[in-house]
Amino acid sequence: MDQQIEYFNDGAEFHEIDPLFINADSLMEFAIYERQPCKDSRYRFRCLLVESSSIPKDRLMKLLKSWGKVYIHTDQVKKYHQYLKDNLAYILKHDEIDMVKKTDTLISLSRDVVKESFECNFSFPWSVRQTLENAQRLISQAVEFISDIKSLNEIAKLIGHDYDTHTHSIKVGWLMATFIHANQELFNFDKALELRPFLIQAAVAGLLHDIGKIKIPPNILNKNGKLDNLEYIIIQSHTAYSASLLFDTEISKHAMQAILYHHENEDGSGYPTGLNREHIPLIAKICHIADVFDALTSRRPYKEPKTPFEALKIMTGENPYLDTLKKFEQEAAENIKTPVTAIVRDDYDIKLRRLREREMVEEEALKRVEARVKLRDQGMSHCFDKSLLRRFIITINKSESFELSGLL
């Protein structure tokens, strides 16, 4: 649709944008309008700029700084959205743009990429490759921002929100990039130039680490309560699904390791292969820490979020009931029938008696599921590399938004 020079309406057809988001070096495909009030409760929207190339750069930059609120027509929101994707690096590096606006833009675009990834038709190899390319393209523009220790102040604002797979994936990738940048000596990079592509690989791994969940039935994935043993097994398959979905792409070895092994535990009690200690790739250990930290600090239908301090106290704590926890975990992983027999003697109807006995066994099974979750929260230090977890605490404690000194 060709845009008019001016419009008179109630404003519902227009979308406000920040003029500082406009890159004077980037060709725009949308028109910018100013809004003026009219006498009849309507507004006059007058076109200020059709394309950036029509004005000298210096003049355009002065105009952008002088304009307050500007608008685009809703018919051009899709073009503006594409513009944001193409100019994300410019926006995140702009010193005069409010940090909240930067973060909101990054989160919005990241959510779109993760959402598109989860909606990808994995039957077509080109579609899978496009999914990976979109994630890499987004992260390559944002990597300097998300790996800066100062950005932890922004990610801290997302802590404690309701859990959803898309936002969770963004936070995991963000935390991984920040941690690796602050602890790059762990990886022995030969050249400084090797750091940036590795940070991109790590953040992409975080963004896509749960993509295999598209293969999990929605009634299990979105269950409001705790998972029973069979559902627990099905959920655990998501790491192998993730690896299989991305197998024929050009995803890096390190990213694939993080995606496949991010649920392996230091003592060998994790999944999918039961790796332990030095057999678990370092990037997978980092992904595991970021993943669990965010999961514990997110609100679920069946639990309130932990504070960062509470979450990390659980993660660093020695579990006094570890043997019992491992027994319950093994029962869940192997879908072992609850070792309980129920006998009802005071009902003459055999069908009702059998039904009540089955209900009693199921109730006991549910109690063991609840016990498993509670026991896990008594301490998880057996899951993580202790020195790496300590580094993680030190890293995020550098942000003024976290106070974790009591854990150190």
Within this chain, do residues 186 and 332 fall inside the same structural domain, yes or no?
no
Within this chain, do residues 299 and 348 fall inside the same structural domain, yes or no?
no
Structural domain count of the chain = 3
In a domain, 155, yes or no: yes
364, 338 contact by CB (below 8 A): yes
In a domain, 115, yes or no: yes
199, 143 contact by CB (below 8 A): yes
Q: How far apart are CA 9 and CA 25, in angstroms?
A: 32
In a domain, 48, yes or no: yes
Q: Provide mean pLDDT across the span 220-234.
A: 81
Distance of CA 396 to the CA centre of its chain: 17
Query: Residue 233 maps to which CATH number?
Result: 1.10.3210.10
Q: How far apart are CA 404 and CA 399, in angstroms?
A: 10
What is the SS3 assignment for 86-111? HCHHHHHHCCCCCHHHHHHHHHHHHH
Domain boundary among 58, 86, 114: 86
In a domain, 94, yes or no: no
* pLDDT (tens digit per residue) in 301-323: 777 889 999 999 999 999 888 88
In a domain, 403, yes or no: yes
Closest C-alpha to 336, from 229, 202, 255: 229
65 or 139: whose pLDDT is higher? 139
Within this chain, do residues 339 and 400 fall inside the same structural domain, yes or no?
no
Within this chain, do residues 400 and 367 fall inside the same structural domain, yes or no?
no
Within this chain, do residues 104 and 252 fall inside the same structural domain, yes or no?
yes
Question: Rounded to whole angstroms, what are the CA distances from 180 to 142, 170, 200, 388, 391?
Answer: 15, 16, 11, 11, 10
The pLDDT of residue 69 is 87
Within this chain, do residues 187 and 113 fall inside the same structural domain, yes or no?
yes
| Mean pLDDT across the chain | 87
Within this chain, do residues 314 and 239 fall inside the same structural domain, yes or no?
yes
Q: Provide mean pLDDT across the span 279-288.
A: 97
308 or 223: whose pLDDT is higher? 308
| Containing structural domain, residue 73 | 1-86
CA-based angle 231:370:220, to the nearest 5?
20
85 or 407: whose pLDDT is higher? 85
In a domain, 92, yes or no: no
Q: Provide mean pLDDT across the span 269-296.
A: 95
Closest C-alpha to 401, from 203, 91, 96, 158: 158
Domain boundary among 23, 52, 86: 86
Could you tell me the pTM of the whole model? 0.87
Distance of CA 210 to the CA centre of its chain: 9
Within this chain, do residues 259 and 312 fall inside the same structural domain, yes or no?
yes
Question: Rounded to whole angstroms, what are the CA distances from 2 to 35, 73, 337, 400?
Answer: 19, 11, 66, 49
In a domain, 91, yes or no: no
Within this chain, do residues 275 and 361 fall inside the same structural domain, yes or no?
no
Within this chain, do residues 183 and 237 fall inside the same structural domain, yes or no?
yes
- Does residue 97 carry a pLDDT above 70? yes
Question: Rounded to whole angstroms, what are the CA distances from 69 to 17, 66, 248, 286, 297?
Answer: 7, 10, 47, 42, 36
Within this chain, do residues 78 and 119 fall inside the same structural domain, yes or no?
no
Query: In degrees rounded to 5, what are phi and psi of residue 125?
Result: -55, -40
The pair of three-digit structure tokens given for residue 134, joined into one six-digit string: 């979109």
Q: Provide mean pLDDT across the span 146-150.
A: 93
Q: How far apart are CA 202 and CA 258, in angstroms?
A: 8
In a domain, 51, yes or no: yes
- Does residue 341 carry a pLDDT above 60? no
Within this chain, do residues 213 and 338 fall inside the same structural domain, yes or no?
no
